[in-house]
């Protein structure tokens, strides 16, 4: 039974605590999370008409878990032929692959995809980077530029900042200091090395693992370090490296001297999400073409409904020569846009998405982990594994487009700042890749910071999908999540567990389980911990207490509303199909009410 008057039982100040804390994007490491049952199923042969009106009992369920026997909760715990095995043991086949903070990683237990089988020639292993030199605004805003970017793993667009008259000075170190010198930033201490090498601390062996310890400082502090190293470089006639160290304060120096390497400090993840504080900077980026903007109707991440730092918000990176962004794919394989503010250059390396499996295997062989670890690939190893590598220089004003799932790593050649954010083209390739990584992350016990269930339902409400394959992928994903919600509700009702109405506030962030960090959609298992209400998923809640002792179960969406949203999504697509509307890949229309 759903009690829609539960607000009187849960004070408003406690309800606010349910909202998760903001988490910074961290391309070096993110927190691991536990595995939950897979909810991705792509069945393009399913009929539109057969599934027009959803029901969990009419054969439309696409979940791999049977609904015939539901677990029940009683004084003795969960009962049923499937019993606790359905939820309580959903993740027994997975193990943690990393010993956090030590760099000691377990041997892989997952089967990574093999990658393309065709043997590449020597020339194909070092392919030319797709690049384009734009000369007019007409070229920049033409559909051909977007198609070019979406057709290649990585693209560098040169001269775009000059043609659009982008004021890159708004992102310079001087402007940032003048604007807010006390702005908190993350800093990383690294060894300065040649861009195609990565040595251990004794400089005896080439390794993949890339050490990059994290601290926090302020823009003003880093600006002083950045300027001092540049001045020392200009004044040292003999060309020796500066010995300038970066200190957080007078008593804490994080760059320890090493006789074999010079230590450099990377100012990373500078948050520019505050639309009031950084209004001039963010307005300047609206000059970019629609497909590459931070916010646009055709950007999937604009439909999340709340900020995800560094993904649907802008982050800035402050660098000196040698600063590294280790190898990675973007969170949930979304595309990214990166502009070099200058004055120095950056060197980029990129590998097409289909080769991520062999790279992940190489990471494991080199005592690191593709998802959890911080690593810098050895180019000889990559080529010996038949993996092609794009390599190019990003000059000031150049825009780099990183396509869906492309593996990449970057090193600063000179003193420079960069700005970056993620973009989600509303295409089948992007959505499928995001969902596949969402599911893979569960196996890796790694948090997906893009709440794909929450995003999918928002897309169904906000966007008219015109691509048939994309429609089926979204529909089947919705089918499975709706089925899972119904199954949990039925389990609770059969066990006489009260479900209280909570609702979902506008722009309220998605919820994650406090224990396993899986996304929790619609049905929240809430428990007071240290006077704060904390959300759990069904599996972790039942593992904590088979009878859900001290848990309150909250519901965010009425199940009939979800069914109506599902049916409307299907009917809208069906109506457009009957009218004979052409379905062009990559096109999208927002719904109007």
Question: What is the predicted pLDDT for the residue at 235?
Answer: 85
Mean pLDDT, the chain, as a whole number? 82
Number of domains composing the chain: 2
**Phi/psi at 169 (nearest 5 deg)?**
-60, -20
Q: Is residue 261 over pLDDT 70?
A: yes
Q: Name the residue with higher pLDDT: 12 or 587.
A: 587
What pLDDT is attached to residue 578?
76
Residue 390 has pLDDT above 90, yes or no: yes
H or E element at residue 263 = strand 263-271
Residue 25 has pLDDT above 70, yes or no: no
**Run of H or E including 458:** helix 452-462
Domain C-terminal end among 397, 431, 465:
431
Contact between 519 and 451 (Cβ < 8 Å): yes
Q: Are residues 176 and 253 in the same domain?
A: yes
- Structural element, H or E, at residue 148: helix 143-151
Closest CA to 30 of 390, 369, 345: 369
Query: What's the pLDDT score for residue 579?
Result: 75
**Residues 331 and 449 sit within 8 Å (Cβ to Cβ):** yes
Report the alpha-carbon distance of residue 78 to residue 85 in Å, rounded.
Answer: 9
Q: Where are the alpha helices (DSSP H) in 426-537?
A: 428-443, 452-462, 468-494
Q: Both 297 and 150 in a single domain? A: yes
Close Cβ partners of 51 (under 8 Å, ≥ 6 residues apart): 60, 475, 479, 570
- Identify the pLDDT of residue 37: 39
Q: Which class for 205: exposed (0-12), middle (13-18), buried (19 or more C-beta within 10 A)?
A: exposed
Distance (Å, rounded) from C-alpha 340 to C-alpha 230? 18
Residue 80 located in a structural domain: yes
One domain for residues 298 and 263: yes
Give the residues across from 214 on adjacent strands.
188
Say what the pLDDT of residue 93 is. 36
Q: Tokens at residue 537, please?
A: 């998923």
Residue 436 lies in a domain: no
Q: What are the tokens at 253?
A: 């120096």
Are residues 189 and 330 located together in one domain of the fold?
A: yes
Give the model confidence (pLDDT) of 325-361 as tens digits: 999 999 999 999 999 999 999 999 999 999 999 999 9
The pLDDT, as a whole number, for residue 87 is 40
More confident residue, 94 or 184: 184
Residue 567: which of 94, 48, 13, 136 has the closest Cα?
48
Predicted TM-score (pTM) of this structure: 0.81
pLDDT in tens, 442-459: 999 999 999 999 999 999
Mean pLDDT of 559-582: 88
The predicted model gives 473-502 an average pLDDT of 96
Give the per-residue pLDDT at 61. Answer: 37
**What is the separation, in whole angstroms, between the first and last Cα of the chain?**
32
437 located within any domain: no
Across the range 195-207, mean pLDDT stands at 93
Q: Using an 8 Å Cβ cutoff, are 170 and 281 in contact?
A: yes
* Residue 478 lies inside a defined structural domain of this protein: yes
Give the bridge partners for 340, in sequence order: 418
Domain that holds residue 483: 2-19+32-94+445-585
pLDDT band at 226 (very low <50, low <70, confident <90, very high): very high
For tokens 């804490």, what's the residue? 252
Model pLDDT, residue 371 = 96
Encoding tokens for residue 297?
């109707």
User: Per-residue pLDDT for 471 more than 50?
Assistant: yes
Task: Mark whether 303 and 451 lie in a shared domain.
Answer: no
Output the domain CATH number for residue 274. 2.60.120.650
pLDDT in tens, 132-181: 999 999 999 999 999 999 999 999 999 999 999 999 999 999 999 999 99
């Amino acid at each position: 039974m759903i009690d829609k008057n539960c607000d009187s039982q849960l004070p408003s100040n406690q309800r606010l605590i349910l909202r998760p804390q903001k988490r910074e994007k961290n391309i070096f490491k993110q927190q691991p999370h536990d595995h939950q049952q897979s909810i991705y199923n792509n069945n393009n042969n399913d009929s539109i008409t057969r599934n027009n009106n959803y029901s969990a009992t009419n054969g439309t369920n696409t979940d791999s878990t049977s609904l015939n026997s539901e677990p029940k909760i009683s004084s003795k715990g969960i009962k049923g032929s499937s019993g606790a095995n359905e939820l309580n043991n959903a993740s027994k086949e997975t193990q943690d692959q990393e010993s956090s903070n030590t760099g000691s990683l377990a041997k892989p237990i997952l089967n990574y995809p093999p990658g393309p089988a065709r043997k590449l020639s020597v020339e194909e292993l070092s392919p030319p980077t797709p690049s384009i030199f734009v000369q007019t605004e007409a070229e920049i805003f033409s559909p051909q530029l977007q198609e070019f970017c979406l057709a290649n793993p990585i693209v560098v667009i040169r001269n775009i900042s000059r043609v659009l008259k982008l004021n890159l000075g708004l992102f310079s170190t001087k402007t940032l200091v003048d604007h807010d010198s006390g702005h908190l930033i993350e800093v990383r201490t690294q060894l300065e090395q040649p861009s195609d090498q990565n040595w251990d601390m004794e400089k005896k062996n080439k390794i993949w693992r890339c050490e990059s310890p994290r601290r926090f400082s302020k823009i003003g502090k880093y600006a002083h370090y950045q300027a001092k190293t540049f001045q020392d470089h200009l004044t040292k006639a003999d060309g020796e490296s500066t010995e300038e160290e970066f200190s957080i304060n007078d008593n804490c120096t994080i760059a320890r001297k090493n006789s074999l390497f010079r230590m450099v400090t990377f100012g990373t993840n500078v948050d520019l999400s505050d639309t009031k504080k950084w209004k001039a900077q963010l307005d300047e980026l609206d000059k970019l073409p629609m497909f590459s903007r931070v916010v646009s109707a055709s950007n999937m991440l604009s439909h999340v409904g709340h900020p995800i730092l560094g993904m649907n918000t802008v982050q800035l990176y402050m660098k000196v020569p040698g600063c590294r962004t280790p190898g990675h794919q973007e969170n949930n394989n979304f595309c990214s846009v990166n502009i070099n503010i200058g004055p120095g250059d950056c060197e980029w390396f990129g590998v097409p998405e289909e080769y991520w499996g062999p790279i992940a295997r190489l990471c494991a062989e080199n005592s690191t982990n593709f998802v959890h670890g911080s690593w810098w690939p050895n180019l000889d190893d990559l080529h010996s594994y038949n993996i092609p590598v794009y390599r190019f220089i990003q000059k000031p004003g150049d825009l780099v487009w990183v396509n869906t799932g492309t593996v990449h790593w970057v090193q600063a050649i000179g003193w420079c700042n960069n700005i970056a954010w993620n973009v989600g083209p509303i295409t089948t390739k992007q959505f499928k890749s995001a969902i596949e990584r969402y599911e893979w992350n569960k196996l890796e016990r790694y948090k997906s910071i893009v709440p794909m269930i929450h995003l999918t339902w928002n897309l169904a409400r906000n966007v008219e999908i015109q691509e048939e394959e994309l429609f089926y992928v979204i529909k089947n994903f919705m089918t499975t999540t709706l089925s899972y919600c119904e199954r949990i509700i039925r389990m609770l009702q059969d066990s006489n567990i009260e479900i209280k109405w909570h609702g979902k506030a506008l722009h309220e962030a998605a919820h994650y389980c406090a224990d396993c960090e899986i996304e929790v959609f619609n049905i929240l298992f809430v428990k007071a911990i240290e006077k704060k209400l904390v959300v759990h998923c069904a599996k972790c809640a039942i593992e904590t207490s088979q009878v859900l002792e001290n848990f309150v179960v909250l519901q965010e969406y009425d199940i009939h509303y979800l069914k109506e949203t599902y049916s409307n999504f299907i009917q809208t697509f069906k109506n457009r199909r009957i009218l004979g509307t052409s379905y062009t890949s990559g096109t999208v229309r927002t719904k109007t009410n």
